[in-house]
Amino acid sequence: MEYPQMTAESVTIAEAKAGACYYVLLILLQRLDPLQPGLIDGMLQGATADFATIESNGMSSELLLAVQREVRQLLEHAATHRASVHPQGGA
């Protein structure tokens, strides 16, 4: 995943908060998955099915497609890096 170069002056409060939320969700998912094996994979499958149903009902929009991409990226990122995270502290 490639991120655009940003300076401290170009980052908005909303972008910083969104980034912080992404990070907290990522580490929570990574720490919960070992305690409930399959959590991340199940969430990814469920989200994929939900978005497919929404699209098949003709309710898709540009916003929904952007949300779908972000959800998929977050869950795939969590799944890819879950092995390096330990549930009892440490990163």
Q: What is the pLDDT of residues 28-62, one digit of tens each?
A: 999 999 999 999 999 999 999 999 999 999 988 99
CA distances in angstroms from 42 to 8, 16, 39, 66, 75, listed in the order given: 37, 28, 5, 21, 10
In a domain, 1, yes or no: no
The DSSP call for residue 49 is H
pTM: 0.74
In a domain, 19, yes or no: yes
Q: What range defines the domain where residue 66 resides?
A: 13-84
In a domain, 89, yes or no: no
Q: In total, how many domains does the chain have?
A: 1
